């Protein structure tokens, strides 16, 4: 990928096109990671609605161990979102280019930890650590794309995306199809974006299912490398600027 393109994806200076392209890449990674988490611990790590529902059921049935896993899932997702906000605000106060790249670097590191540690999940503590790692990573990612798009785009919240598609189609049906109508064109543009995000999440899930089944948990390594590729240019830009200032 050209450097200017990578800089547009995760750099400080944003564009609507850059936001959408980054969201699609991250939706792919999220889909693959979600499947990898299910292979590891039989537990989806980006679907907090399902996690809370399972948590309620496990609590009612007295499954203390599963309740603990559910609580850790929600807490880890929350902490990932919290850390992304701290990263962005810290970098922004220092006028760094990498304010949106830093959370992806951390997520990449967490996926590497999962890739090399997921092969040994024989103990309960290992399962807890895996859930914590992946939910934290998904919280980082979801908060990142939420912040840079002003809460317009999500990469793991498929429920919300399907809901928004239904709303958009309902608006189109109520207005009536008129070529060139700005309101209709805006809704169609929204449909394209949301449909593409769901498609990338699905394709990522398929890739994750094939990759984790055939390669094992080391399939998390190429997912991590994708994130590093997306994030590295703004980080290098800031390092070079600091070196120049020091010189």
pLDDT, tens digit (0-9, with 9 covering 90-100), for 130-170? 888 889 999 999 999 888 887 777 777 787 888 888 988 88
Q: What is the DSSP letter of 63?
A: -
Percent of the chain whose pLDDT exceeds 70: 94
pLDDT for res 103:
94
Mean pLDDT: which of 132-136, 225-229, 242-246 is highest?
A: 225-229
The whole-angstrom separation of Cα 104 and Cα 139 is 11
Nearest to 85 by CA among 171, 8, 146: 146
* Cα–Cα dist 202/52, whole Å: 22
pLDDT of res. 178: 59
Give yes or no for a contact between 162 and 190, defined as CB atoms under 8 angstroms apart: no
Separation CA 33–CA 205 (nearest Å) = 8
The pLDDT value recorded for residue 176 is 67
- For residue range 93-102, what is the model confidence (pLDDT) as tens digits? 999 999 999 9
Q: What is the pLDDT of residue 121?
A: 55
Class of residue 102 by CB neighbours under 10 A (exposed 0-12, middle 13-18, buried 19+): buried
- From residue 28, how far is each of 155, 175, 203, 205 by CA, in Å? 8, 33, 7, 7
Mean pLDDT of 101-121: 85
Give residue 129's pLDDT.
82
> Is pLDDT of 21 > 90?
yes
Asked whether 194 and 164 are in contact (CB, 8 A), the reply is: yes
Better pLDDT: 84 or 159: 84
Mean residue pLDDT across the chain: 86
pLDDT(122) > 60: no
Q: Quick one: pLDDT at residue 39?
A: 80
> With 0-12 CB in 10 A as exposed, 13-18 as middle and 19+ as buried, what is 214?
exposed
Residues 6+ apart with CB under 8 A from 168: 187, 190, 191, 194
If we measure between CA atoms, which residue out of 139, 46, 131 comes closest to residue 87? 139
pLDDT for 148 = 84
Domain boundaries, the chain: 14-153+204-242
SS (H, E, C) 101-139: CHHHHHHHHHHHHHHHHCCCCCCHHHHHHHHHHHHHHHH
Q: Does residue 117 have a pLDDT over 80?
A: no
């Amino acid at each position: 990928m050209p450097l200017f393109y990578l800089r547009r994806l995760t750099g400080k200076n944003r564009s609507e096109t850059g936001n959408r392209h980054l969201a699609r890449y991250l939706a792919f990674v999220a889909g693959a990671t979600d499947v990898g988490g299910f292979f590891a611990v039989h537990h989806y790590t980006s679907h907090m609605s399902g996690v809370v529902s399972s948590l309620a059921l496990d609590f009612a049935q007295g499954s203390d161990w599963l309740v603990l896993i559910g609580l850790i899932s929600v807490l880890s997702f929350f902490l990932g979102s919290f850390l992304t906000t701290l990263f962005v605000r810290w970098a922004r106060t220092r006028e760094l280019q990498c304010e949106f790249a830093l959370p992806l670097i951390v997520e990449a590191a967490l996926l590497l930890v999962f890739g090399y540690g997921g092969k040994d999940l024989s103990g309960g503590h290992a399962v807890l650590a895996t859930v914590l790692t992946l939910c934290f990573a998904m919280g980082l990612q979801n908060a990142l794309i939420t912040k840079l798009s002003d809460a317009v785009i999500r990469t793991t919240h498929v429920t919300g995306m399907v809901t928004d598609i239904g709303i958009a189609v309902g608006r189109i049906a109520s207005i009536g199809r008129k070529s060139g109508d700005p309101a209709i064109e805006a809704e169609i543009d929204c449909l394209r974006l949301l449909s593409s995000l769901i498609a990338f999440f699905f394709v990522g899930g398929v890739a994750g299912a094939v990759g984790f089944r055939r390669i094992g948990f080391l399939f998390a390594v190429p997912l991590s490398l994708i994130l590093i590729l997306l994030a590295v240019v703004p980080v290098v830009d800031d390092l070079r600027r600091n070196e120049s200032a020091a010189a």
